[in-house]
Chains A and B, each alone.
Chain A
Amino acid sequence: MRLWPRSLAARTALVLVMSLTLVQVAGLTIHAFDRVGLQRLAQTRDVGVRLMGLYRLVALTPAEQRESVVHELDLRDGLTARLETAPPADDLMPTPQEIRRPIVVSMQLVPVPQPQRQREVVMLGMPGDGRLVVGLRMADNRWLNMSIPMTPPRLWHSQAFLLAFVLMTVAACLLTLWAVRRLTAPVRTLARAAEALGRDVNAPPLPEDGPTEVAVAAAAFNLMAARIRRFVQDRTFMLTAIGHDLRTPITRLKLRAEFMEDDEMRRKMLADLDELEAMVAATLAFGRDITTDEPVTTVDLAELARTVLDEAADAHAELADSILYAGLYHLPIRCRPVALKRALTNLVMNALNYGASAQVTLLPPVAGLLTLLVEDNGPGIPLSELDRVFQPFHRVEPSRNNETGGMGLGLPITRNILRAHGGDVVLSNRPAGGARATVTLPV
């Protein structure tokens, strides 16, 4: 059952529209009953007075002229009258009391002198029959038999009313929807702000205006964002400070190594220092806000990917034949080239380190989103690790030397960079074997 909508706006609107409909129906019912009563009163009074008026006219006429008067009467609105010797003969049922009584009462409103008063009243039919047949026995025992149209009271009396009612209801529903959307807008704003904060800690604060509750929520949200920002800044400062402080001793050590006599020892020491430097660089890259210090430019992503592969082939000459590029030859996108190159390099180096091969495929953009695959022919990634590899300092296996010094920061950095570009990266295993990193980026 999906009758109960999911969104707050739709739920509120539904409740409001339903109560509105209920109130409308109740009000309309009361109005209709009231109207029926009023109509019946007016109708019975009208019928009674008209019938009695006719009777009075006939009764006050001298007996010998009555026949011709009845005959010549100019009656309107379906009223007919005949002077007969018997009460009206019709197949209609006798009129029910609740209609007969008010008509009889109304008849008494027309003054008729006592001698000419009717001696007996026969009333047949009801509103449902469309007419009422009334026979009045006169003093001379003749019957004045009359027939008058009588329609059941209507709940409303014009088509315009129905139209107006529908219009009113539709307008009320639309107003409700509009008001509800307006009222729930702050919730959506808050959700968007939270989402933006997830992407960029320096996202602009929420405006703290609007209704009290909304303003309070916005202020609380801004305070939370500020605390997160300070936390991130502290972490960045700390990591940057450590990185900077380590630069000096590493530089000294590299210089000292140059003065070592033992070539083999010097080579090894420099290799260790390079590794140490790579670790510091990776920590710094992870700690700092990658997005802030590089301008956005238009770059050919296809060429960027091929440059990354060229450099990988230079660094791993023995694997050069397993490094392949496929897909688009040119694709200009707006990005931060140094950061993006680092992200792609990390993925390619992972493919080479764990899969001893790297194939990059750049697919044409679909709906404003491009897809770039980095695949290898290695053993793939255990299912339980697919998501955990994105955690900082997490390693699938004690790692070999690679670009990030094997600290388990390559993938987290890659994902940070891609998310900062509005994209993402997910890992999966290829059906044919090997791992696949699927990079998506907005064009």
Chain B
Amino acid sequence: MLGFMETPIAPNAAHILVVDDDREIRDLLARFLERHGLRVTAVRDARDARRALLNGHFQMIVLDLMLPGETGLDFARWLRTEASGHRQMGLVMLTAMGEETDRIIGLELGADDYVPKPFNPRELLARMRAVLRRVGDGQQPRHAQIAQLWRFGGWTLDPSRRRLLSPDQVEVPVTGGEYDLLVALVERANRVLTRDMLLDLLRGRQAGPFDRAIDVAISRLRRKLEDNGRHAQLIKTVRGGGYVLAAEVERL
């Protein structure tokens, strides 16, 4: 018996549905998440997941793509297109390591995030919390943005493939953290975001001192957006520690 202190689960804790065909992973993940204050229901395949969805109210589903019977991708598609009651639910996919196609299809289907297996439990938790915050904020869930693009100042942000395109349609590589940061800024264009708010969004992505990480990431983004640091026009520095994306954002 492991002797750690169980964090009491608050009655209003987010309810998570974990779908994974490996019993050990299912149970361990459930215990791990419960220990961090989440309510968890764990099922083994898409059929059981549907049954669970009928009986419970979930804020998020953690879905393994490799499932027996109906695949995770098919289930995700059903979830986002037909299951009308569950569209507001967050969706984090567990993908096979390095399966680029799975990742792209998953994001196109409206997954809020993906974590390659074998995952680091703490990173998974951080990503889940970020998605929960977004869902809890009552923001547009990811599926509403399927096949949509953001355009600002000539630049294009393509959420389905998580990439940034320059005004002449050349892909400009960005890291995962930079992408998330840019999305945060674009989603709240012309609103000042404090460092703390941005830190929240980047948590789990970056190692090291977070304060510096934000400034470094911002300066790298400015370089990539060809936004001169001194006279930045796109990402402006706000006195007192914050940043704002000063541009009209167009949804395409």
Interface set of A (CB-CB < 8 Å, partner B) = 243-244, 247-248, 250-252, 254-256, 258-259, 261, 270, 273-274, 277, 280-281, 284-285, 288, 293-294, 297-300, 303-304, 306-307, 310-311, 314, 317, 330, 332, 337-338, 341
Contacts and interface: CB of A to CB of B under 8 A. Distances in A.
B98 A284 contact: yes
Given A247-B117, A281-B98, A293-B100, A255 B171 contact: no
Question: Chain A binding site: helix, strand, loop or mixed by DSSP?
Answer: helix
Given A255-B121, A256-B28, A298 B169 contact: yes
B212 to A, nearest CB: 10
B118 interface: yes
A259 to B, nearest CB: 5
A277 B123 CA distance: 15
Nearest to A256: B28
Given A247-B117, A299-B170, 8 more contacts: A244-B96, A255-B28, A299-B173, A300-B166, A300-B173, A303-B173, A310-B175, A337-B171
Contacts of B220: 307, 310
A391 B28 CA distance: 40
Contacts of A300: 166, 170-173
A298 B117 CA distance: 29
B206 to A, nearest CB: 8
B54 interface: no
Given A255-B28, A259-B31, A297 B171 contact: yes
Contacts of B121: 254-255, 258
B139 interface: no
B187 to A, nearest CB: 22
B119 to A, nearest CB: 7
Nearest to B24: A252
Contacts of B174: 307
B113 to A, nearest CB: 17
Contacts of A244: 66, 96
B101 A303 contact: no
Interface in B80-130: 96-101, 117-122
Nearest to A304: B173
For chain B, the bracket of interface size reads: 35 or more
A259 B2 contact: yes
Contacts of B208: 314, 317
Contacts of B28: 252, 255-256, 259
A306 B173 CA distance: 9
B98 A285 contact: yes
28 contacts: A247-B117, A248-B25, A248-B117, A248-B118, A252-B24, A252-B28, A254-B118, A254-B119, A258-B32, A259-B4, A270-B120, A277-B97, A281-B97, A281-B98, A284-B98, A293-B101, A298-B171, A299-B170, A299-B171, A300-B173, A303-B224, A304-B173, A307-B173, A314-B207, A314-B208, A314-B216, A332-B170, A341-B173
A218 to B, nearest CB: 34
A337 B175 CA distance: 12
Contacts of B138: none
A300 B164 CA distance: 11
A307 B31 CA distance: 37
A421 B121 CA distance: 36
B173 A280 contact: no
